[in-house]
Chain A
Amino acid sequence: MAGMSGKRLQKELAKIQGVLPPGISLVSAEDLREWQMDLIVPDNPIYPPDEEYRLRFHFSANYPIEAPEVVFMLLSNPERKIPMHPHIYSNGIICLDLLDKQGWSPVHNVESVCISIQSMLASNTKAERPPGDAEFVRSNRSRPRDINFLYHDPTV
């Protein structure tokens, strides 16, 4: 319901302009339905402390009942790369159970999603792409929410 997402996003925006956890910042939310956040990963040599990563959040009219679509963005000005991680494809698509239909819960919010992604990166030890990354990036036409990822590596 358009009403539900509107009110909820307005309130989240008001809250997020207050205090955020370290390493997470709001870049823009001019369009209430599309936000951008910057992320820094603490204490992990794979991710230099001065390298920031850009997340794009897209909300449907049914948010928060439906999960937002969250992807990393590749930018040149300012420079933003896609972080290396066995669950992050080089086109920015993220393989995280919390972001898909089964794992999402409406009590999550933008801040908690950012924290989860930050923590996923912070605890990572393998600086690599998922198997089949090149093929996936070349042939994928589906929106992230429609992709059925098989989570076969719970150690990451």
Chain B
Amino acid sequence: MASYQADQLKEQGNAAFRNGEYLEAEALYTQAVQKYSRNPLIYTNRANVRLKLQQWDGVVNDCSKSIEITGANAQNHKAWYVLAQGQLGLHHPNEALTSALTAYDQVLHPQPTAKISAKDLETFSAFVLKCKKAKFAARDLGRLRRQGDLRAELETMLETQRQRDLDEVTTQLRRSQLGNIEASERSQEITTTLDDKITSLRTVFAAADPANHKAREVPDYVIDMITFEPMHDPVMTKNGHSYERATIYEHLKRSPTDPLTRDPLTIRDLRPNFGLRAACEAFWDSGASEWIADWS
């Protein structure tokens, strides 16, 4: 009985979410879990709303609760994906990457009864890449700072300023001094301005000291020929070329042919390319993100 009422409230919460009424949706989901606290979907949905409200701690708590209910090894890819986004919001890119990889793995090897959306693999794959970039950017910046690198120090200062500005927006949002759309626009503006400043900074340093600050070449073998992005789960075709798994899956959905030769090709013909995957990992490890000229 209680779980039925909880479901009703969850549906109302979903409707509010679709209408963009995020505070309303959060309140409804909260009422729902008070009626019945063992439905993992309600926690996942509330976490999703909290992403919009930029309440990162709340996101992590709710996702953790949802995963606790289903069990850490059970199918719950949406919770892992939302968790990854929350962890990224909290600037914990290592944890975000682990969560993102779990979500990706769960849609790649789903339980038979799992409900996967057609776009999930592509979305989760792109998010894994985003977390990787965040993780290695943070790590490389930290290392440079410890070495006394001036550019790294200045970048860190700019990042701190950005975080202060974004936190200000979050506070205003919570105090209802800002609407959702406005908050989202301001956050976007803050991020873009900061990205531009960092690009300018790097350009200036490169001009002043080209030997030490020139852009790293990204080797071709790391890059997916279709998206032009670095790969994290490369798969190989019969003729020896490799592509990012999610990308070639998307291509094969529309045209079951090899992108280079146009011979027939299906997902079953693809093989994981562990050697290339290791080479891509090694490339990240080598401090390549230091000069993310064309990667951001």
Contact = CB atoms under 8 A, between A and B. Distances in A.
Contact count band on A: 10 to 19
A107 B228 contact: no
A-side interface mostly: loop
A1 B229 contact: no
Interface residues of B, number: 19
A7 B255 contact: no
Contacts of B251: 65, 106
Interface in A20-71: 64-66
Contact of A1 (B123, B255, B257): B123
A29 B119 CA distance: 28
Given A1-B119, A14-B294, A65-B250, A8 B259 contact: no
B225 A107 contact: yes
A104 B126 CA distance: 23
Nearest to B258: A105
Contact of B226 (A65, A102, A103): A65
A152 interface: no
Contact of B227 (A8, A14, A66, A105): A8
A101 interface: yes
B226 A64 contact: yes
Contact of B255 (A4, A8, A102): A102
Given A8-B228, A64-B226, A1 B259 contact: no
A106 B294 contact: no
B122 interface: yes
Contacts of B262: 103, 105
B94 to A, nearest CB: 23
Interface string B236-258: 00000000000100110011010
B260 interface: yes
A104 B123 CA distance: 23
Contacts of A105: 255, 257, 259-260, 262
A104 B122 CA distance: 20
A107 B226 contact: yes
Nearest to A106: B226
Given A1-B122, A1-B126, A3-B126, A101 B228 contact: no
A65 B225 contact: no
Contacts of A138: none
A118 B123 CA distance: 37
Contact of B254 (A8, A12, A65): A65
Given A11-B228, A66-B254, 5 more contacts: A1-B123, A3-B126, A103-B262, A104-B255, A107-B259
21 contacts: A1-B119, A1-B122, A1-B250, A4-B126, A4-B247, A7-B229, A8-B226, A8-B227, A14-B294, A65-B250, A101-B254, A104-B255, A105-B260, A105-B262, A106-B225, A106-B226, A106-B247, A106-B251, A106-B259, A107-B225, A107-B260
